[in-house]
C-alpha cells in the first residue's frame, strides 16, 4: 500500500465531519481565495525577496503544473529539505495542490538522517538547497543517489544555476511564465480533506524517530486552533525563525495562509537580527523554544529595539522555566503564551490571551476545548486531580498513525483510540495542566519517583545558572541516582556543593542531586528539547566536570 492510499478510519471521518472539524476542502482553496481577495498584499518575505499573495499563488500553480508535466502522481512522495526560504512555502503548497504526499525535514540533517528518510518514505523527488551554512547538500545527494533507486528527480535552490543534472527551482520560479497546464487541469488533481497530506519524523529524543502521518484535515485543524488561540488574523505579521523542516515551522507557514497575513522567514536565528526584523516588519507574533527567549533578552540591542508591535509570543517545544517567563513578561509588551503540543497530535493545550499571566505561570493552560485529554495511571485508569499520570489525547488534529510501523501504532494508541503521548502531567483543581516530564525520563530512586522538571525549576532560579537539566544515572543499590547537569552563566564561579546547598531547603532530601556536572552547553534537538539520552551517556562517561555527592 502506498502512502496516498492510507486514510483515516471511517469512524473518525464520521465523527469529525459531523462535528464540523473535517471538511472536503483544503488549504488550496484558502490560498486561491487570498490571491483573489488581496492580490497585492504582502504574503511572504525572506532575505531575498518579497512576494504578494498573487505572486505566491502563481508560483505554486506553476510548480504544481511542472510536477504534473514531470509525471508525478499521488503514488510518489516529494521530500523537501530547505531552510526558511520562500521556495519552501511554494514547494509544500504545490505538493498539496496535487495531493502528492510530502515529507519536510531539517536543513541541518546530514548523511545518516537524509539517507534514512529518503529510503524509508521512498521519495521520488527531493527539493533541496545547493549549499547552506557552508554545507554542500548537492554533493551529499550525488553520493547517496546510487543507493536510492526511487529518487528520480532533484530540484535545487541556489542563487547560481545548478548543474544540468538537476532542476533549477529558483530560476524557474523567478521566471514568471504561464503554467504548463491549465488551471482547470490543476483543480482536477486537488485532494480532499481526508487525503494524506504529509509525513514528518519525530524529533527523536529517544533515538527512535517515527514517521508521523497527517491528512489535510488533521493538519488544518491544528493550525486553525492555534490561530484562534493566539489571535492571528489578516492584520497580523508572523516572524518564523524556527526551522520550516520541523512541524512547528511548517504550521506557521500554513497558519499565515489560513489567516491571510504576512509571514517573514529568517533562515538562521541570530538574536540581534531577529530583534531588527521585529521592529522593521512590525511583527505581531512569533514562536520559539525557551532558549530563543533567553537569547533575545540577552541580545546587545534588546533594550533599544522597538517591540511595541508584538501581540503574542508563543513558547513551547520544551518546558519553559518559570523564572524565564517572568523575566520576559516584565520586559516585553504583549502576551507570552505557553503551548503544549507534539508532532503526532498538534497543540493540546495553551495559555490564552484573556488569562492572568501570573495565575497561569508554570502551566500550559487548560486542555484545548476541541481536543480530548485524560491523565491516567499505568493501568489507563484516570487519576484524581493533583495526581501525576500519563497524558492521553484524542481529537481532530491527532495523526492517523505512524507509517510502516505497526508495533509503534499498537503501543501508542489505546483500544478506544486515545493517543499515548508519553508525557507526564497533572491537572490542578482549576483544570490547568502542568507538564512534569517525559515518562521515560522519570527517575526511580529506591522505589521513589523523582520528576526532573521539579528540580530543574529550582535550579533556574539560581543567579549563577544559565541552563540546567536533571537525569537519572544507574546505581546498583538504588536503581538510579539523581544527577544535575548545570551550565553556569559566563564568568560565574560555581561549585557542586553550592548547587546542592541552594536546593537543600527547597526540595525533599531524597530528590537532592547526588552528583553535579558542569557543562559548556546541553545537547538539544532542533526544537530546543534537551536530549536526555545523550546527556545521560555523557555524564555516565564523566564527560563533564565531576561534582560532589550530596
pLDDT below 70 — which residues of the chain?
1, 203-208, 318-319, 447, 527, 542-550
**For residue 1, what pLDDT is reported?**
63
**For residue 206, what pLDDT is reported?**
44
Domains of the chain with CATH codes:
27-190 (3.40.50.980), 448-546 (3.30.300.30)
Instruction: For 113-133, give one letter per residue: b (16+ CB within 10 A) or e.
Output: bbbebbebbbbbbbbbbbebe
**For residue 208, what pLDDT is reported?**
60
**For residue 360, what pLDDT is reported?**
86
Q: In 343-388, where do the E strands start and end?
A: 346-350, 366-367, 372-376
**For residue 203, what pLDDT is reported?**
62
Residue with cell 544535575: 484
**For residue 543, what pLDDT is reported?**
45
Name the region of 385 (left: φ>0; alpha: ψ -120 to 50; beta: rest). Answer: beta
**For residue 550, what pLDDT is reported?**
43
**For residue 478, what pLDDT is reported?**
76
Integer Cα distance of 401 and 6 in angstroms = 10
Q: What is the CA radius of gyration of the chain?
A: 24
pTM: 0.85
**For residue 496, what pLDDT is reported?**
95
Q: Coil, strand, or helix at residue 386? A: coil
**For residue 542, what pLDDT is reported?**
59
DSSP string, 294-323: HHHHTSTTTTTS--TT--EEEE-SSPPPHH
Integer Cα distance of 210 and 174 in angstroms = 36
**For residue 244, what pLDDT is reported?**
96
Name the region of 477 (left: φ>0; alpha: ψ -120 to 50; beta: rest). Answer: alpha
Integer Cα distance of 421 and 220 in angstroms = 20
DSSP class of 398: S
Integer Cα distance of 145 and 134 in angstroms = 21
Q: Coil, strand, or helix at residue 452? A: helix
User: In sequence order, which residues have a C-beta less than 8 Å from that of residue 100 and are 6 or more positions away?
Assistant: 4, 67, 72, 73, 74, 76, 77, 78
How far, in Å, are 175, 492, 549, 550 from residue 499 at the CA level?
61, 13, 11, 10
Integer Cα distance of 150 and 146 in angstroms = 10
**For residue 549, what pLDDT is reported?**
45
Integer Cα distance of 481 and 550 in angstroms = 11
Integer Cα distance of 292 and 317 in angstroms = 11
- Helix (H) or strand (E) holding 134, with range, is none
Amino acid at each position: 500500500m502506498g502512502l496516498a492510499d492510507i486514510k483515516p478510519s471511517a469512524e473518525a471521518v464520521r465523527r469529525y465531519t459531523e462535528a464540523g472539524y473535517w471538511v472536503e476542502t483544503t488549504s488550496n482553496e484558502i490560498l486561491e481565495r487570498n490571491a483573489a481577495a488581496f492580490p497585492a498584499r504582502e504574503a511572504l518575505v525572506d532575505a531575498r525577496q518579497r512576494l504578494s499573495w498573487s505572486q505566491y499563488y502563481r508560483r505554486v500553480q506553476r510548480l504544481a503544473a511542472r510536477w504534473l508535466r514531470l509525471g508525478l502522481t499521488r503514488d510518489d512522495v516529494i521530500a523537501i529539505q530547505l531552510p526558511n526560504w520562500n521556495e519552501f512555502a511554494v514547494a509544500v503548497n504545490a505538493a498539496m495542490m496535487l495531493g502528492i504526499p510530502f515529507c519536510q525535514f531539517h536543513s541541518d540533517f546530514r548523511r545518516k538522517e537524509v539517507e534514512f528518510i529518503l529510503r524509508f518514505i521512498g521519495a521520488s523527488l527531493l527539493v533541496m538547497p545547493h549549499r547552506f551554512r557552508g554545507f554542500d547538500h548537492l554533493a551529499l545527494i550525488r553520493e547517496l543517489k546510487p543507493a536510492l533507486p526511487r529518487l528520480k528527480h532533484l530540484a535545487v535552490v541556489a542563487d547560481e544555476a545548478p548543474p544540468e543534472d538537476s532542476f533549477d527551482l529558483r530560476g524557474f520560479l523567478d521566471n514568471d511564465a504561464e503554467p504548463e497546464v491549465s488551471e482547470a487541469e490543476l483543480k482536477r488533481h486537488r485532494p480532499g480533506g481526508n487525503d494524506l497530506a504529509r509525513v514528518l519524523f519525530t524529533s527523536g529524543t529517544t533515538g527512535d524517530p517515527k514517521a508521523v502521518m497527517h491528512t489535510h484535515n488533521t493538519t488544518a485543524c491544528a493550525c486553525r486552533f492555534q490561530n484562534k488561540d493566539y489571535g492571528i488574523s489578516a492584520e497580523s505579521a508572523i516572524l518564523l525563525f524556527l526551522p520550516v523542516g520541523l512541524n512547528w515551522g511548517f504550521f506557521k507557514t500554513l497558519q499565515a495562509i489560513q489567516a491571510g497575513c504576512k509571514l517573514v522567514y529568517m533562515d538562521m536565528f541570530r538574536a540581534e537580527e531577529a530583534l531588527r526584523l521585529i521592529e522593521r516588519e512590525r511583527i505581531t507574533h512569533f514562536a520559539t523554544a525557551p532558549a530563543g527567549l533567553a537569547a533575545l533578552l540577552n541580545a546587545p540591542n534588546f533594550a533599544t529595539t522597538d517591540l511595541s508591535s508584538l501581540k503574542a509570543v508563543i513558547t513551547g517545544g520544551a518546558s519553559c522555566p518559570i523564572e524565564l517567563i517572568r523575566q520576559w513578561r516584565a520586559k516585553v509588551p504583549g502576551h507570552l503564551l505557553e503551548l503544549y503540543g507534539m508532532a503526532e497530535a498538534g497543540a493540546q493545550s495553551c495559555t490564552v490571551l484573556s488569562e492572568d499571566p501570573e495565575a497561569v505561570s508554570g502551566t500550559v493552560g487548560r486542555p484545548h476545548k476541541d481536543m480530548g485529554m485524560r491523565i491516567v495511571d499505568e493501568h489507563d485508569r484516570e487519576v484524581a486531580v493533583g495526581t501525576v499520570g500519563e497524558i492521553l489525547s484524542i481529537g481532530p488534529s491527532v495523526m492517523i498513525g505512524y507509517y510502516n510501523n505497526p508495533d509503534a501504532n499498537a503501543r501508542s494508541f489505546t483500544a478506544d483510540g486515545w493517543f499515548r503521548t508519553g508525557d507526564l502531567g497533572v491537572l490542578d483543581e482549576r483544570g490547568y495542566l502542568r507538564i512534569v516530564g517525559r515518562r521515560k525520563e522519570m527517575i526511580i530512586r529506591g522505589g521513589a519517583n523523582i520528576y526532573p522538571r521539579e528540580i530543574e525549576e529550582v535550579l533556574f532560579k539560581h543567579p549563577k545558572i544559565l541552563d540546567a537539566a536533571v537525569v537519572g544515572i544507574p546505581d546498583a543499590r538504588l536503581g538510579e541516582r539523581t544527577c544535575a547537569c548545570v551550565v553556569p552563566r559566563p564568568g560565574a564561579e560555581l561549585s557542586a556543593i553550592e548547587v546542592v546547598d541552594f536546593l537543600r531547603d527547597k526540595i525533599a532530601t531524597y530528590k537532592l542531586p547526588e552528583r553535579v556536572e558542569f557543562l559548556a552547553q546541553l545537547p538539544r534537538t532542533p526544537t530546543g528539547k534537551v536530549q536526555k539520552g545523550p546527556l545521560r551517556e555523557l555524564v555516565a562517561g564523566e564527560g563533564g566536570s565531576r561534582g560532589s555527592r550530596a
